[in-house]
Amino acid sequence: MSSKTPVSFGDKVRVRLTPETEARGVAGLAGVVYGETTPSVTGVVAIGELTSDYAVNVHFEGRSETFWFAPELLEFADENAGTEPRLVGAPKKMKQWWKF
C-alpha cells in the first residue's frame, strides 16, 4: 500500500506475503476493497497487527467470505482507473460519498 494514498472502497488490492497471510491462504491474492471499520467499535478480528484502530475488508472472487486486514498488508494491484460505482439496476451514477 502506498503511504501517500490509503486504499478505499472499490480499489483492487493484493495481499502481501507474510506468515499470517500464508497461514490464512490469502497471500498474493488480489481482491476488491468492500469496506473499512474501527475494530474497537465493531469487534472485527483483522489479519495482521493493527498499528491503528483501522481495518480494511477485502473480497476475493470465488470466495463467499470476506477478510479483514491491517492496511499495511495490502498494496494496490490496480487503482481501477475510470471505474464508477453503481447500484445494480440504478439508472444514475452514485456520488462518491466515501471520498471527501
pLDDT per position as a tens digit, 41-73: 999 999 999 999 999 999 999 999 999 999 999
Residue type, 29: L
Residue 77's closest CA among 4, 10, 19, 3? 10
Residue 96 domain-assigned? no
Side-chain-side CA neighbours of residue 88 (13 Å):
0
φ and ψ of 78, to 5 deg: -175, 135
Q: What is the predicted pLDDT for the residue at 1?
A: 41
Q: Would the pTM count as exceeding 0.75?
A: no
Residue 92 domain-assigned? no
Residue 86 domain-assigned? no
Residue 30 domain-assigned? yes
Residue 64 domain-assigned? yes
Average pLDDT of every residue of the chain: 82
Residue 46 domain-assigned? yes
- Can you give the residue range of the structural domain that contains 61? 12-78
Residue 7 domain-assigned? no
Q: Where do the H-state alpha helices sit in 1-100?
A: 19-23, 39-42
Total domains present in the chain = 1
Residue 49 domain-assigned? yes
